[in-house]
Structure formats: C-alpha cells, structure tokens
Amino acid sequence: MRISARNQLPGTVISIEPGAVMSVVTIRLAGGEEVVAVITRDSVGSLGLAVGDSVSAVIKSTAVMVAKD
C-alpha cells in the first residue's frame, strides 16, 4: 500500500479495547514506545485487526504542540 502521509510508524498491535462505537488500539513500536489510536469498531473489523498484527501508525496532523513546565 502506498500513502502520501510521511509519518508512518511500524509496530505491533498489543491490545484492542472495543467500545460501543469506537475501539482503542494500542501499537508497540520497535523502540518500546506505544501509540494509541481511537478508531471505529467498523474500521477494526474492516482491517481484520487482531493482537499481534504488524501494522503502521499513520500520523497526519496540521499542528504539533510542545509544552514545558
């Protein structure tokens, strides 16, 4: 699959928490960091997502904020 988004982080699905409409998908990256995505239950089904699957977290954003105490 080819996609124009440049921020693609490969990882492994470590958990899927289904909700009534949305599901919380946690992806562990190669360095041990985790990325959490909230996607529709329909998307989880359409993608056939399961724990242990190799996936890419694709991040498309128009703004990145930095904060410091």
Query: Domain limits at 43?
Result: 7-58
Q: Which 8-state DSSP code applies to residue 54?
A: E
pTM equals 0.85
How many folded domains does the chain comprise?
A: 1
pLDDT tens digits for 3-57?
Answer: 888 889 999 999 999 999 999 999 999 999 999 999 999 999 999 999 999 999 9
CA 47/CA 56 separation, integer angstroms: 12
Check if the beta carbon of residue 44 is closer than 8 Å to that of residue 16: yes
Q: Is residue 66 part of a domain?
A: no
CATH of the domain at 28: 2.40.50.100
Would you state the pLDDT for residue 31?
A: 95
Residue 2's pLDDT band (cuts 50, 70, 90):
confident
